[in-house]
Amino acid sequence: MNNELLHHLEQRINEAVEEIGSLRKRISELEMQNYELSEEKSEMESTLNQTREQQSNWESSLSQMLNRLNQMDNKQ
């Protein structure tokens, strides 16, 4: 009976070790995926900031042109 119990415990320990290895591998995969997603997010944020800055510049330029047109209209 003792040998059976020891054998059973050994099997359970081996299964737990395998499960731990599998979980460590999955953690590594998720960490890599998280890193890749963080990089992608940073790139998207950078693109968004550039787009916002460009939009702001265009709005400013349009506003200046409209002001000049209004000034020209007022002089006539």
How many helices (H) does the chain have, and how many strands (E)?
A: 1, 0
* Rounded-to-integer distance, Cα 60 and Cα 12, Å: 70
Taking the whole predicted model, whether its pTM rises above 0.85 is answered as: no
Q: How many CA atoms lie within 13 A of 10 on its CB side?
A: 6
Q: Per residue in 16-68, pLDDT tens?
A: 999 999 999 999 999 999 999 999 999 999 999 999 999 999 999 999 999 99
pLDDT for the residue 56: 97
Diameter of the chain measured on Cα atoms = 110
The pLDDT score that the predictor gives to residue 57 is: 97
Contacts of 62 (CB under 8 A, 6+ apart): none
The DSSP call for residue 44 is: H
